[in-house]
Structure 1
């Protein structure tokens, strides 16, 4: 199951990378400029000129970064370390997701269920064979109460 999910993500990355930015995806190093949006189904994620990042469902605001009027000419950028940042026209950071990892290929995806999620390199993983070291040498030990045939994966999304 986990392998199938990873394969789906990799195919999505390849398709989006070859076609450019999809309507619902922002890749690391890409920028969404003021008054532009990502769109998926009934949901829209818009970075406004006055620095507010807003999510709409069927045209009704349901979430905001609450950074309105903290600058102008703002843009939303997904950095190569996975951090999602709003910058004003003077390149000052106005807001950030405060979640980052190693440099790599990340994708901000606005999903059809309305969640926006940053996908990227695995931060850590634990399989049925015990400890694994991933990104930075963190050791994850197997607990005796852990199911013996399931993979545990950590996904950060704030």
Structure 2
């Protein structure tokens, strides 16, 4: 969760740094100088987001369901774990894409003109916070599921 929060703050800071450079905007087109600070902050945010996702998935373990019948028979914790895992992957894909797009738009050496990428870094940063919530929900519910399954296993014969 801490890594997601830091990634979110870095994404928002990258957006602020990007707005400090000179730019000219006409409708949806924009010409602006790249910001090296925004590039570094956006890259750090994307790396931290990916790292936070990997750690959350490794810490939560593998909670898998292979059929609708298994989903119907599953406990509430297991259903929550699977739903949180799916949503964390979706949020990861969107947030990571937005952070990478914003970072790449600041990676050029010269002024660039094209479609405006307004608020891409800050939206990616905000989604890092949302990802953190789903990652924590996955971790907690996956561990609760593991404890439930451990309690319901029959004892081995002596």
Report the TM range for the smaller structure's normalisation.
under 0.3
Higher share in helix: 2
In proportion to residue count, which structure has more strand?
A: 1
Relative to the length of structure 1, the TM-score reads: 0.28
Q: TM-score, normalised by structure 2?
A: 0.28
Q: Please say which structure displays the higher CA radius of gyration.
A: 2
